[in-house]
Structure 1
Protein backbone atom coordinates (compact mmCIF):
# COMPACT_ATOMS: atom_id res chain seq x y z
CA UNK A 1 0.00 0.00 0.00
CA UNK A 2 1.34 3.42 -0.87
CA UNK A 3 0.57 6.55 1.10
CA UNK A 4 -0.10 9.80 -0.68
CA UNK A 5 0.63 13.11 1.01
CA UNK A 6 -2.58 14.94 1.83
CA UNK A 7 -3.02 18.39 0.31
CA UNK A 8 -5.26 20.35 2.66
CA UNK A 9 -6.30 22.93 0.06
CA UNK A 10 -7.68 20.57 -2.60
CA UNK A 11 -10.42 22.99 -3.64
CA UNK A 12 -8.89 26.45 -3.93
CA UNK A 13 -11.85 27.76 -5.92
CA UNK A 14 -14.03 27.57 -2.80
CA UNK A 15 -12.82 30.85 -1.37
CA UNK A 16 -16.13 31.93 0.12
CA UNK A 17 -17.21 33.94 -2.91
CA UNK A 18 -18.50 30.93 -4.84
CA UNK A 19 -21.59 30.77 -2.62
CA UNK A 20 -22.55 34.20 -3.94
CA UNK A 21 -21.81 33.17 -7.51
CA UNK A 22 -23.98 30.05 -7.16
CA UNK A 23 -26.78 32.18 -5.70
CA UNK A 24 -26.95 30.17 -2.50
CA UNK A 25 -27.84 33.24 -0.45
CA UNK A 26 -31.48 32.17 -0.52
CA UNK A 27 -33.27 30.46 2.33
CA UNK A 28 -31.62 27.50 4.03
CA UNK A 29 -28.29 29.15 3.51
CA UNK A 30 -25.31 28.29 5.59
CA UNK A 31 -21.59 28.64 5.26
CA UNK A 32 -20.94 25.25 3.67
CA UNK A 33 -18.44 26.63 1.17
CA UNK A 34 -16.63 28.62 3.83
CA UNK A 35 -16.12 25.64 6.11
CA UNK A 36 -14.38 22.37 5.68
CA UNK A 37 -16.03 19.11 4.76
CA UNK A 38 -16.87 18.33 8.39
CA UNK A 39 -20.57 19.13 7.97
CA UNK A 40 -23.09 16.35 7.49
CA UNK A 41 -24.61 15.99 4.04
CA UNK A 42 -28.08 17.54 3.79
CA UNK A 43 -31.15 17.18 1.57
CA UNK A 44 -33.97 19.74 1.54
CA UNK A 45 -37.40 19.09 0.00
CA UNK A 46 -40.13 21.69 -0.29
CA UNK A 47 -43.70 20.45 -0.33
CA UNK A 48 -46.93 22.42 -0.44
CA UNK A 49 -47.39 22.18 3.34
CA UNK A 50 -43.83 21.92 4.71
CA UNK A 51 -40.08 21.71 4.28
CA UNK A 52 -38.35 18.37 4.90
CA UNK A 53 -34.68 18.37 5.84
CA UNK A 54 -32.58 15.22 6.02
CA UNK A 55 -29.07 15.13 7.47
CA UNK A 56 -26.73 12.16 7.24
CA UNK A 57 -25.33 11.76 10.76
CA UNK A 58 -24.02 8.21 11.02
CA UNK A 59 -22.20 7.25 14.20
CA UNK A 60 -24.28 9.51 16.44
CA UNK A 61 -27.09 8.39 18.69
CA UNK A 62 -30.29 10.33 19.30
CA UNK A 63 -28.99 11.61 22.66
CA UNK A 64 -25.87 13.10 20.98
CA UNK A 65 -27.91 15.40 18.70
CA UNK A 66 -29.43 18.76 19.64
CA UNK A 67 -31.85 20.72 17.42
CA UNK A 68 -33.10 24.21 18.25
CA UNK A 69 -34.91 27.04 16.49
CA UNK A 70 -34.18 30.60 17.57
CA UNK A 71 -35.19 33.69 15.62
CA UNK A 72 -34.72 32.66 11.98
CA UNK A 73 -31.92 30.16 12.61
CA UNK A 74 -32.31 26.38 12.76
CA UNK A 75 -29.34 25.08 14.77
CA UNK A 76 -28.37 21.42 14.49
CA UNK A 77 -25.38 20.17 16.44
CA UNK A 78 -24.00 16.95 17.83
CA UNK A 79 -21.14 16.06 20.07
CA UNK A 80 -19.91 12.62 20.93
CA UNK A 81 -17.81 11.87 23.96
CA UNK A 82 -14.16 11.12 23.35
CA UNK A 83 -14.29 7.91 25.42
CA UNK A 84 -14.71 5.86 22.25
CA UNK A 85 -11.70 7.59 20.69
CA UNK A 86 -9.43 6.44 23.51
CA UNK A 87 -9.94 2.83 22.43
CA UNK A 88 -8.66 3.51 18.93
CA UNK A 89 -6.24 1.20 17.26
CA UNK A 90 -3.07 2.22 15.45
CA UNK A 91 -4.53 3.22 12.11
CA UNK A 92 -2.40 3.69 9.03
CA UNK A 93 -5.12 5.93 7.61
CA UNK A 94 -8.29 7.18 9.25
CA UNK A 95 -10.81 9.15 7.18
CA UNK A 96 -14.01 9.15 9.19
CA UNK A 97 -14.60 10.55 12.58
CA UNK A 98 -17.78 11.04 14.54
CA UNK A 99 -16.68 13.64 17.07
CA UNK A 100 -18.94 16.64 16.47
CA UNK A 101 -20.60 18.99 14.02
CA UNK A 102 -22.43 22.28 14.19
CA UNK A 103 -24.72 23.43 11.37
CA UNK A 104 -26.89 26.55 11.28
CA UNK A 105 -29.51 27.22 8.64
CA UNK A 106 -31.46 30.38 7.99
CA UNK A 107 -35.07 29.39 7.51
CA UNK A 108 -37.44 31.04 5.02
CA UNK A 109 -40.01 33.61 6.09
CA UNK A 110 -42.92 31.34 5.22
CA UNK A 111 -42.05 28.75 7.91
CA UNK A 112 -44.68 28.68 10.65
CA UNK A 113 -42.72 29.47 13.83
CA UNK A 114 -45.76 28.70 16.02
CA UNK A 115 -45.70 25.04 14.96
CA UNK A 116 -43.20 22.66 16.50
CA UNK A 117 -40.41 21.28 14.33
CA UNK A 118 -40.91 17.53 14.01
CA UNK A 119 -37.72 15.51 14.29
CA UNK A 120 -36.98 11.81 13.89
CA UNK A 121 -33.78 9.76 13.77
CA UNK A 122 -33.40 6.37 12.14
CA UNK A 123 -30.44 4.49 10.66
CA UNK A 124 -28.08 7.46 10.82
CA UNK A 125 -30.48 9.92 9.14
CA UNK A 126 -31.96 12.85 11.05
CA UNK A 127 -35.24 14.05 9.51
CA UNK A 128 -36.75 17.42 10.34
CA UNK A 129 -40.10 18.77 9.20
CA UNK A 130 -40.90 22.50 9.31
CA UNK A 131 -44.51 23.46 8.62
CA UNK A 132 -45.32 26.35 6.32
CA UNK A 133 -47.78 29.11 7.08
CA UNK A 134 -51.12 29.02 5.35
CA UNK A 135 -50.41 29.70 1.72
CA UNK A 136 -51.84 32.96 0.49
CA UNK A 137 -54.34 32.64 -2.28
CA UNK A 138 -52.80 33.25 -5.64
CA UNK A 139 -54.18 36.22 -7.48
CA UNK A 140 -55.42 35.02 -10.85
CA UNK A 141 -53.66 36.32 -13.90
CA UNK A 142 -55.56 39.07 -15.68
CA UNK A 143 -55.10 39.41 -19.39
CA UNK A 144 -55.16 42.90 -20.80
CA UNK A 145 -56.46 43.45 -24.31
CA UNK A 146 -54.24 45.46 -26.61
CA UNK A 147 -55.99 47.84 -28.98
CA UNK A 148 -54.67 48.54 -32.38
CA UNK A 149 -54.33 52.26 -32.96
Structure 2
Protein backbone atom coordinates (compact mmCIF):
# COMPACT_ATOMS: atom_id res chain seq x y z
CA UNK A 1 0.00 0.00 0.00
CA UNK A 2 1.27 3.50 -0.79
CA UNK A 3 1.00 6.32 1.73
CA UNK A 4 2.26 9.77 0.76
CA UNK A 5 3.92 8.21 -2.29
CA UNK A 6 5.93 5.64 -0.31
CA UNK A 7 5.38 1.93 -0.19
CA UNK A 8 4.37 0.86 3.32
CA UNK A 9 5.25 -2.61 4.56
CA UNK A 10 6.57 -4.37 7.63
CA UNK A 11 9.91 -2.57 7.47
CA UNK A 12 8.46 0.86 8.28
CA UNK A 13 10.93 3.27 9.85
CA UNK A 14 9.49 6.11 11.90
CA UNK A 15 11.33 9.24 12.97
CA UNK A 16 13.06 8.72 16.35
CA UNK A 17 10.63 10.90 18.29
CA UNK A 18 7.70 8.73 17.12
CA UNK A 19 9.58 5.53 17.99
CA UNK A 20 9.89 6.83 21.55
CA UNK A 21 6.23 7.83 21.76
CA UNK A 22 4.75 4.57 20.53
CA UNK A 23 2.04 3.74 23.04
CA UNK A 24 2.48 0.68 25.22
CA UNK A 25 -0.10 -1.26 27.17
CA UNK A 26 0.64 -1.81 30.81
CA UNK A 27 -0.34 -5.08 32.47
CA UNK A 28 -3.61 -5.14 34.42
CA UNK A 29 -2.61 -4.94 38.08
CA UNK A 30 -5.75 -6.71 39.28
CA UNK A 31 -5.77 -10.10 37.58
CA UNK A 32 -8.96 -11.19 39.42
CA UNK A 33 -11.21 -8.88 37.42
CA UNK A 34 -11.79 -8.46 33.74
CA UNK A 35 -12.23 -4.90 32.67
CA UNK A 36 -12.88 -3.41 29.26
CA UNK A 37 -9.82 -1.33 28.43
CA UNK A 38 -9.78 0.86 25.36
CA UNK A 39 -6.85 2.57 23.67
CA UNK A 40 -7.67 6.14 22.63
CA UNK A 41 -6.50 7.55 19.32
CA UNK A 42 -3.49 9.81 19.74
CA UNK A 43 -1.83 12.39 17.52
CA UNK A 44 1.82 13.15 18.29
CA UNK A 45 3.92 15.99 16.93
CA UNK A 46 7.50 17.12 17.47
CA UNK A 47 7.59 20.90 17.82
CA UNK A 48 10.64 23.08 18.23
CA UNK A 49 10.01 23.70 21.95
CA UNK A 50 7.90 20.68 22.93
CA UNK A 51 6.40 17.34 21.99
CA UNK A 52 2.61 17.59 21.69
CA UNK A 53 0.12 14.77 22.19
CA UNK A 54 -3.63 15.00 21.55
CA UNK A 55 -5.85 12.17 22.77
CA UNK A 56 -9.49 11.70 21.75
CA UNK A 57 -11.46 11.03 24.97
CA UNK A 58 -15.14 11.48 24.09
CA UNK A 59 -17.52 11.26 27.03
CA UNK A 60 -14.82 11.86 29.64
CA UNK A 61 -14.28 14.88 31.86
CA UNK A 62 -10.94 16.05 33.18
CA UNK A 63 -11.89 14.75 36.64
CA UNK A 64 -11.97 11.21 35.15
CA UNK A 65 -8.43 11.45 33.70
CA UNK A 66 -5.12 10.87 35.46
CA UNK A 67 -1.69 11.81 34.03
CA UNK A 68 1.57 10.80 35.69
CA UNK A 69 5.22 10.20 34.93
CA UNK A 70 6.27 6.72 36.03
CA UNK A 71 9.95 5.86 35.52
CA UNK A 72 10.56 7.13 31.98
CA UNK A 73 6.93 6.80 30.84
CA UNK A 74 4.14 9.34 30.51
CA UNK A 75 1.06 7.39 31.63
CA UNK A 76 -2.43 8.63 30.77
CA UNK A 77 -5.36 6.73 32.25
CA UNK A 78 -9.04 7.18 33.07
CA UNK A 79 -11.89 5.39 34.73
CA UNK A 80 -15.55 6.32 34.60
CA UNK A 81 -18.57 4.54 35.98
CA UNK A 82 -22.13 5.46 35.15
CA UNK A 83 -25.43 4.05 36.27
CA UNK A 84 -28.98 4.65 35.16
CA UNK A 85 -32.11 3.46 36.90
CA UNK A 86 -35.70 3.48 35.65
CA UNK A 87 -38.55 2.75 37.99
CA UNK A 88 -42.00 1.88 36.80
CA UNK A 89 -45.08 0.58 38.55
CA UNK A 90 -44.20 -3.10 38.18
CA UNK A 91 -40.49 -3.17 37.37
CA UNK A 92 -37.10 -1.61 37.93
CA UNK A 93 -34.34 -1.48 35.31
CA UNK A 94 -30.80 -0.57 36.27
CA UNK A 95 -27.85 -0.27 33.90
CA UNK A 96 -24.23 0.08 34.90
CA UNK A 97 -21.45 1.09 32.52
CA UNK A 98 -17.77 1.04 33.44
CA UNK A 99 -15.11 2.27 31.03
CA UNK A 100 -11.39 2.69 31.46
CA UNK A 101 -8.29 3.22 29.38
CA UNK A 102 -4.60 3.73 29.73
CA UNK A 103 -1.70 4.54 27.45
CA UNK A 104 1.96 4.69 28.34
CA UNK A 105 4.40 6.66 26.20
CA UNK A 106 8.16 6.28 26.62
CA UNK A 107 9.61 9.75 26.93
CA UNK A 108 12.38 10.62 24.45
CA UNK A 109 15.81 11.37 25.91
CA UNK A 110 15.42 15.12 25.29
CA UNK A 111 11.99 15.36 26.97
CA UNK A 112 11.83 17.31 30.24
CA UNK A 113 9.42 15.52 32.63
CA UNK A 114 9.32 18.65 34.82
CA UNK A 115 7.81 20.68 31.96
CA UNK A 116 4.56 18.86 31.21
CA UNK A 117 1.30 20.77 30.74
CA UNK A 118 -2.16 19.39 30.03
CA UNK A 119 -5.57 20.80 29.20
CA UNK A 120 -8.84 19.14 28.30
CA UNK A 121 -11.78 20.55 26.39
CA UNK A 122 -14.71 18.93 24.57
CA UNK A 123 -13.37 15.38 24.92
CA UNK A 124 -9.87 16.21 23.70
CA UNK A 125 -6.84 16.02 25.97
CA UNK A 126 -3.82 18.06 24.86
CA UNK A 127 -0.46 17.40 26.53
CA UNK A 128 2.75 19.35 25.95
CA UNK A 129 6.05 17.83 27.03
CA UNK A 130 8.78 20.45 27.05
CA UNK A 131 12.18 19.71 25.59
CA UNK A 132 15.43 19.99 27.50
CA UNK A 133 17.61 21.99 25.14
CA UNK A 134 20.78 20.95 26.96
CA UNK A 135 20.11 17.36 25.88
CA UNK A 136 19.72 18.23 22.21
CA UNK A 137 21.32 15.85 19.74
CA UNK A 138 22.30 18.80 17.56
CA UNK A 139 25.44 20.79 18.24
CA UNK A 140 27.99 22.83 16.35
CA UNK A 141 31.56 21.62 16.06
CA UNK A 142 34.23 24.27 15.99
CA UNK A 143 36.97 23.62 13.42
CA UNK A 144 40.48 24.10 14.77
TM range (shorter): 0.5 to 0.7
SS of residue paired to 1:121: strand
Correspondent of 2:20 among 27, 46, 55 = 27
Answering whether residue 40 of structure 2 is matched by residue 44 of structure 1, we say: no
> Deviations 1:96-124 (Å, cap 9, x if unpaired)?
x8711111111101001232x10000011
Determine the C-alpha separation between the residues in 1 that align with 2:39 and 2:112. 26
Determine the C-alpha separation between the residues in 2 that align with 1:23 and 1:71. 26
The residue aligned with 1:63 is 63
The residue aligned with 2:121 is 122
CA RMSD of aligned residues (A): 3.1
Equivalent residues of 1:60, 1:98 under 8 A apart = no
Structure 1 segments unaligned to the other structure (5+ residues) = 1-19, 89-96, 143-149
**Structure with max Cα Rg:** 1
Determine the C-alpha separation between the residues in 2 that align with 1:49 and 1:82. 39
Are residues 53 and 84 of structure 1, via their aligned partners in 2, closer, same or farther at CA, if it must alter by over 3 Å? farther
Q: Report the Cα offset of residue 83 of structure 1.
A: 1.9
Mapping 1:84-99, distance limit 5 Å: 84=84, 86-87=94-95, 99=99
SS of residue paired to 2:112: coil
Q: Report the Cα offset of residue 82 of structure 1.
A: 3.6
Determine the C-alpha separation between the residues in 1 that align with 2:20 and 2:52. 13
Determine the C-alpha separation between the residues in 1 that align with 2:98 and 2:141. 51
Structure 2 segments unaligned to the other structure (5+ residues) = 1-9, 26-35, 86-93
Determine the C-alpha separation between the residues in 2 that align with 1:27 and 1:49. 17
SS of residue paired to 1:44: strand
TM-score by length of 2: 0.64
